[in-house]
């Protein structure tokens, strides 16, 4: 990858967080650490979650080369989520491929 292609490289400390077993109406909070391991600025264009029960936010959408940022994610269980759960967080950025997927997994009893 050359510096002029405008693409960045994203590294995450974990692609998946298994929260184990929780009860209905419990909340799970998790932080995913992102690193821009390229010489170009990493631009987060959008963060999408798979449902309304999962929220993810990032303080800054621009991550400088070799710098870090944290995505704060929250899963709020309800009666619609009983059983085995797998929720995704899709990060769209100036990377190749242009997205990275993170997962929250566990079981709601």
pLDDT tens string, the chain, 109 residues long: the values are 445 488 999 999 999 999 999 999 999 999 999 999 999 999 999 999 999 999 999 999 999 999 999 999 999 999 888 999 999 999 999 999 999 999 999 999 9
Contact, 58 vs 68, CB < 8 A? no
Burial 15-29 (b: 16+ CB within 10 A, else e): eebebeebeeeeebe
The model's pTM is 0.91
Question: What would the CATH number be for the domain defined by 3-108?
Answer: 2.60.40.10
């Amino acid at each position: 990858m050359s510096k002029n292609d405008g693409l960045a490289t994203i590294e995450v400390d974990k692609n998946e967080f298994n929260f184990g077993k929780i009860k209905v109406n419990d909340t799970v909070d998790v932080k995913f650490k992102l690193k821009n391991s390229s010489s170009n600025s990493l631009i987060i264009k959008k963060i999408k979650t798979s449902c309304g029960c999962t929220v993810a936010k990032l303080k800054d959408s621009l991550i400088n080369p070799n710098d870090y940022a944290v995505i704060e994610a929250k899963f709020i269980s309800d009666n619609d989520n009983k059983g085995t759960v797998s929720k995704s967080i899709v990060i769209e950025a100036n990377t190749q491929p242009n997205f990275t997927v993170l997962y929250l997994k566990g079981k709601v009893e």
